Amino acid sequence: MSAGDLLFSTSDLLIGVATSALQIEGGDRNNNWYDWSKLSRTIKDGSTPERATDHWRRWREDTELMASLGLQTYRMSVEWSRIEPRPGEIDRAALERYRQELQAIRDVGIVPLVTLHHFSQPSWFQGLGGFSSPYAVDRFLSFASVVVKELGDLVSDWVTINEPNVHAVQSYLFNEGPPARRDFAALRQVLRHMARAHCRAYHLIHGLQPDAKVGAAHHARVFAPRTARNPVHRAAAYVDRQLFQEILADAMLGGRFHRLLGPAPDVTPGPHYDFLGINYYSRSAVRGIGDGTFPGVPVNDLGWEIYPQGVVEVAADLHARYPGPIWITENGTADGLDRFRSRFIYEHLQQIAASGLPFERYYHWCFVDNWEWTEGEAMRFGIVANDYDTQERTVRDSGRFLEQIIAHGGVTGSMYEEFVAGQTYPLGP
Ligand code: FCB
């Protein structure tokens, strides 16, 4: 085999990057995360999303940079609080700004995938109780219908809601997102209402755009018993997985609402997806309430285990119950020094390529370093580095690696030598 031969091929995949509006745009104060980040000690570095990467103004340069890397597709979100700053009031200028960006993305040949809800929401909507409110589903659907009507000539691929499970637990269990209240009744309502909102949005979007591709971005992690033979650990891993993941997947993808979620009279059981959107990051070692990592495993800057085969494990599992094309709507790692991101990309894509499953798309999280929720600006997920003081972007080696993967349709021996061979993962405690 020569160095130019492919070690594995990615030519069946459309490859790109993902972002979310609040984490990159900056400049918006009308949302719940801005409000919450202003309270003391909520965000680890004291930052707010007001600065972020200033993408709201720098979108042209960012789009050019994406094009120069040869990215084939781009997952972004639109910020509800910009488009509907007050209930029922639509900001045409904000929509126009998104239209320009989407047009530019298409003009450089990148396929856009647009998320309607990615954690943040308008302050007024939070005031109603966010997704725990009985009005939440209707409010969200009316916003969704405005966006699809106004942007639908530029976008045909949609993610309705990003990670309802993470949104719900960070806000109503772990105090890691607004309103940071431990409230099991609200947690259950949020999950139920988000799943209903997804199912109804699925039909609403198809009503407006028959050829649209619609899915959710489901956060799926591997839950493994900390000690394989320990029955408590095994039971806990099973319960975590059911509660955090499977019940929600059944509701969103299959329209089937478990009694733990509560009823959804407005949803008919049946498929509610055109692709299986999966955000995959890590594996948890479970031994009871709360989880951790196995000792001595590879970890990223946040201490999350790096477990590449997990991407196939979670996809295979979901696909067995809900057959369809698989889109990895997020996969990435916090690596401030870019010491192991290329290896991370290599090993995850290698797993995908060898799996025999119908993976169609891969979105690396993230395009550029960004405002990482409670972690603020410190955690670095970008294939492009950002200097927040100057807002200067610098493509990391891992960005060059992704560029070459796309250009070659896979990884060659010489690319492996250049980008991956010298990289090792840090090991956890
Ligand atoms: C996911 C979120 C995304 C980002 C990554 C690191 O759970 O969807 O916004 O924060 O984690």
Entry pTM: 0.98
Query: Measured between alpha carbons, how far is 129 from 384 in angstroms, rounded to an integer?
Result: 36
Vertex 345, ends 8 and 68: CA angle to 5°? Answer: 95
Per-residue model confidence (pLDDT) at position 1 = 67
Pocket of ligand 1 contains residue 381 by CB under 6 Å: yes
Atom of ligand 1 at shortest range from CA of 162: 8
Query: Measured between alpha carbons, how far is 111 from 16 in angstroms, rounded to an integer?
Result: 9
Which token pair is 361?
A: 């798309």
Query: Measured between alpha carbons, how far is 144 from 204 in angstroms, rounded to an integer?
Result: 8
Q: What are phi and psi of 86, to 5 degrees?
A: -130, 155
Gap from CA of 294 to ligand 1 centroid (Å): 22
Query: Measured between alpha carbons, how far is 411 from 10 in angstroms, rounded to an integer?
Result: 8
Query: Measured between alpha carbons, how far is 17 from 69 in angstroms, rounded to an integer?
Result: 11
Report DSSP letters for 86-114, one per residue.
Answer: BTTB--HHHHHHHHHHHHHHHHTTPEEEE
Query: Measured between alpha carbons, how far is 416 from 405 in angstroms, rounded to an integer?
Result: 10
Gap from CA of 290 to ligand 1 centroid (Å): 19
CB 426, CB 340: distance < 8 Å: yes
Gap from CA of 325 to ligand 1 centroid (Å): 22
Our measurement of the distance from residue 106's CA atom to the centroid of its chain's CA atoms, rounded to an integer in Å, reads 21
Per-residue model confidence (pLDDT) at position 2 = 75
Helix, strand, coil fractions of the chain, as percent rounded to 5: 40, 20, 40
Which of helix, strand or coil describes residue 369? coil
Atom of ligand 1 at shortest range from CA of 334: 6
**Long-range contact list for 288-291, CB < 8 A, 24+ apart?**
288/232, 288/233, 288/236, 289/236, 291/223, 291/240
Per-residue model confidence (pLDDT) at position 428 = 96
Per-residue model confidence (pLDDT) at position 291 = 75
Listed as ranges, residues in the chain with pLDDT below 70 are 1
Query: Measured between alpha carbons, how far is 133 from 325 in angstroms, rounded to an integer?
Result: 33
Pocket of ligand 1 contains residue 411 by CB under 6 Å: no
Distance between terminal CA atoms of the chain? 39
CB 267, CB 255: distance < 8 Å: yes
**CA-wise closest residue to 394 among 65, 110, 108:** 65
| Helices and strands (H, E) in the chain, number of each type | 15, 15
Vertex 380, ends 70 and 333: CA angle to 5°? Answer: 75
Strand arrangement of the beta sheet that strand 222-225 belongs to = 222-225, 283-286, 291-292
Per-residue model confidence (pLDDT) at position 408 = 98
Q: Label residues 324-337 b or e (16+ Cβ within 10 Å = b).
A: bbbbbbbbbbbbee
Pocket of ligand 1 contains residue 300 by CB under 6 Å: no
**CA-wise closest residue to 74 among 394, 392, 404, 362:** 362
Our measurement of the distance from residue 124's CA atom to the centroid of its chain's CA atoms, rounded to an integer in Å, reads 24
Q: For the chain, what is the radius of gyration of the CA atoms?
A: 20
Pocket test for ligand 1, best of 121, 330, 366, 369 (most atoms within 8 A of CB): 330
Per-residue model confidence (pLDDT) at position 3 = 73
Distances (CA, A) of 376 to 47, 158, 373, 414: 6, 27, 6, 37
Atom of ligand 1 at shortest range from CA of 381: 6
Gap from CA of 368 to ligand 1 centroid (Å): 13
Q: How many CB atoms lie within 10 A of CB 169?
A: 19
Pocket of ligand 1 contains residue 365 by CB under 6 Å: yes
